[in-house]
Amino acid sequence: MIEVEDVYFRYPNGVEALKGVSLTIKNGEFVAIMGQNGAGKTTLVKHFNGLLKPTKGRVLVDEAETTKVSVATLARKVGFVFQNPDHQLFCETAEEEIAFALKNFGFKETIIKRRVQWALNLLGLTQYKKISPFMLSGGERKRVALASVLAWNPKILILDEPTIGQDYQQKEKLRQFILQMKTQRKTVIIVTHDVEFVAECNPRVVLMREGKIVADGEAKEILTNEEVLTQASIVPPQIAQIFMQMPSLQLPKNIIDVYEAREILLKMLRSDAK
Ligand SMILES: Nc1ncnc2c1ncn2[C@@H]1O[C@H](COP(=O)(O)OP(=O)(O)O)[C@@H](O)[C@H]1O
Ligand SMILES: [Mg+2]
Taking only the tens place, the pLDDT of each residue in 146-167 is 999 989 889 999 999 989 888 8
Lowest mean pLDDT among 22-31, 35-44, 45-54, 255-264: 255-264
**Which value, to the nearest 10 degrees, does the dihedral of the CA atoms of residues 56, 206, 81, 143 take?**
-170
Q: Which run of H or of E encompasses 197?
A: helix 195-201
pLDDT the model gives residue 164: 86
CA of 255 to the centre of ligand 2 (A): 27
| Closest ligand to the CA of 19 | 1
CA of 191 to the centre of ligand 1 (A): 14
pTM of the model: 0.91
CATH number of 2-236: 3.40.50.300
Contacts of 120 (CB under 8 A, 6+ apart): 94, 95, 98, 126, 128, 129, 147
Judge if the beta carbon of residue 40 lies within 6 A of ligand 1: yes
Give ion ligand 2 contacts, CB < 5 A: 42
Taking only the tens place, the pLDDT of each residue in 172-217 is 988 988 888 888 889 999 999 899 999 999 899 999 999 999 999 9
Ligand 1 atom with the smallest distance to the CA of 46 is: 17
Q: How many angstroms separate the CA atoms of 236 and 221, rounded?
A: 11
Ligand 1 atom with the smallest distance to the CA of 43 is: 17
Residue 244 has pLDDT above 90, yes or no: no
pLDDT the model gives residue 180: 85
Judge if the beta carbon of residue 38 lies within 6 A of ligand 1: yes
Classified as helix, coil or strand, 27 is: coil
Amino acid identity at 32: A
pLDDT the model gives residue 72: 83
Is residue 164 within 8 Å of 142, Cβ to Cβ?
Answer: yes
Residue 248 has pLDDT above 90, yes or no: no
pLDDT the model gives residue 231: 86
Q: Count of CB atoms within 10 A of residue 111's CB?
A: 11
Residue 28 has pLDDT above 90, yes or no: yes
Average pLDDT over residues 16-25: 98
Is residue 205 within 8 Å of 234, Cβ to Cβ?
Answer: no
